[in-house]
């Protein structure tokens, strides 16, 4: 998968609820993945934003 490298650190956003409250889990077997503290999403797929103004508003959750 070709992905253009952003210059700065991208802002990671949960793909499920658009929260930025993600923590990084580095498992030896499972590999890298993220855990969302807001909706409990766990997975390696997260959204990355260079520009904070492009982040969609957080979804209602629960």
39 scored as a contact of Zn ion (CB under 5 A): yes
34 and 44 Cβ atoms separated by less than 8 Å: yes
Q: Does 19 engage in binding with Zn ion (CB under 5 A)?
A: yes
Residue 7 CB, shortest distance to Zn ion, in Å, is: 26
Residues 6+ apart with CB under 8 A from 7: 50
Which secondary-structure segment (H or E) carries 22? Answer: strand 22-27
Which of 5, 7, 9, 14: binder of Zn ion (CB under 5 A)?
14
What residue ranges bind Zn ion (CB under 5 A)?
A: 14, 16-17, 19, 36, 38-39, 41
């Amino acid at each position: 998968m070709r992905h253009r490298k952003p210059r700065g650190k991208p802002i990671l956003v949960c793909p499920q609820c658009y929260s930025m409250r993600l923590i990084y889990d580095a498992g030896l077997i499972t590999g890298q993945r993220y855990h969302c503290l807001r909706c409990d999403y766990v997975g390696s797929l997260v959204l990355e934003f260079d520009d904070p103004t492009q982040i969609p508003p957080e979804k209602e959750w629960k």
